[in-house]
Amino acid sequence: MKVNSQVFRAYDIRGIVNEELSDELVKKLGKAIGTLLRRNNSDALNVCRDGRLSSPHISELFTEGVLSTGCNVYNLDLGPTPLLYFSTFKTSIRNGVMITGSHNPKNYNGFKIVVNQKPLSGESITEIKNLIENEDFICGEGKEQKTPLLENYQTEIKSKINLKRTLKIVLDCGNGAGGLVAPKLFKDLGIELIELYGEVDGNFPNHHPDPSNPENLKDLIVKVRENKAHLGIALDGDADRLGVVDNKGNIIFPDQYMSLIADQILKNNSGRKIVFDVKCSSRLKESISKSKGVPIMTRTGHSFIKEEILKQNAILGGEMSGHIFFNDDWYGFDDGIYSALRLIEIIAQSEDSSAEMFSKFPQLFTTPEINLHTTDERKFEIIKKLKKEFEFNDYEKVLIDGIRIENEESWGLARASNTSPSLVFRFEGESKEALKKIIAVFQKALFTIDDKLEIKLN
């Protein structure tokens, strides 16, 4: 079987349902993963699905494929991605697959794969693709078993969070899978909750479930201001990422709230390492060092962050898209629900407002993530040319992931997206002039490659 290579991405498998993700491919993907596990002396897999309209059907087909290899399936049913990760730590089964389109449009779906508690990426994803193309599958007869774990997940989180005062929180679940869990958890912990879009609905009728896009936080901002709430929290479609709005309705980007979290966590963990991705502010690196931590910059992508956390024995990790990984009193996986509650716990410890607490870690002049649509082939060609054909004099190059150039007054990043056919940019400067200058440096290079490659700011 010849498969579309674009479906097999850097750290997951994702595509348009019924076009890139056909029924045949989904079933054979189950066969490939079942085969991979059995050839690695394992015979069991936890499976969970998000609230997308296509997820029940995909889950059924995928499970059928897995069972046909003799690998057993423990079905967690509907839930957020953190529930799947949790299951690999709290059951005897260390492998799992989450069926989710994450923050992609509603006609997408995909698979996040965990083997022995570690996310599959790179060569392992390619190995699965090769098994499918060669139809190199083991035959057997596995068994399926329902494994409800939502209550265990909620109970453990409640045991970890201690709020010193009652806070009024607006929570926007974006009609994603987090609505199944988060509102009840927040209320059980004594939070005065104002709920937005908690009903799980794969049509996403209110807004796109991606809190990294400021456009999707408009309703949350309005509700925070209307209700004079202490904080606003937004979850993405599968609840492994979070967006944050302070009590004044200001969007707090992940590298800014990471600074606050890092400062708190390092008070009792001096000298520990904290991992963050190349899209994060230079101020995050500075604040980690100031709080007596060791900053580690790495590639963008939840799999790469997790790998680096394990490699460095880091206590905390995070990336600009809102994936936050607590590895002190949690399990080192990205969990938007738990991370939101840890942030709320920090804010509840102080009588200061959330805006006052975040202001201790001020932002520079910065852009949100800027996406420039292209093709999967072209995006890599452009990054390769930026790396090889331009000197970027007066700037230091960082080539961990794409190209980041920086000096004392600004930095800029261009990289190929891991999840879509686009280029991703981010810029930061000590002043408006410095910000404009770094954008102009990249724009000049891009126009040299192709005069249609324009960085468009909202």
Q: Tell me which residues are annotated as active site.
A: 102
Give dist(CA 171, CA 230) in Å, integer.
11
Q: Is the dihedral of CA 33, 38, 42, 47 positive or negative?
A: positive
Q: Which residue has tokens 């716990």?
A: 345
Q: Return d(Cα 407, Cα 422) in angstroms, integer.
A: 26
The DSSP letter of residue 407 is -
Say whether 278 sits in a helix, a strand or coil. Answer: coil
Asked if residue 182 lies in contact with residue 171, where contact means CB atoms within 8 angstroms, the answer is yes
Helix (H) or strand (E) holding 437: helix 432-449
Nearest to 323 by CA among 334, 332, 309, 333: 334
Q: Residue 442's CB: how many other CB atoms inside 10 A?
A: 21
Alpha carbon dihedral 353, 355, 358, 359, in 10-degree steps, equals: -110
Structure tokens, 28: 């054979």
Q: How many CB atoms lie within 10 A of CB 2?
A: 6
Residue 367 DSSP SS3: coil
DSSP codes, 32-44 = HHHHHHHHTT--E
In sequence order, what are the residues at sequence separation of 6 or more whose Cβ sits closer than 8 angstroms to the Cβ of residue 377? none
Among the listed residues 71, 188, 66, 90, the one whose alpha carbon sits nearest the alpha carbon of residue 148: 90
Cβ-defined contacts of 282-286 (< 8 Å, 24+): 282/364, 282/406, 282/411, 282/428, 283/255, 283/256, 283/259, 283/361, 283/362, 283/363, 283/364, 284/255, 284/256, 284/258, 284/259
Distance of CA 446 to the CA centre of its chain: 28
Residues 6+ apart with CB under 8 A from 290: none
Nearest of 264, 231, 237, 257 to residue 179 by alpha carbon: 237
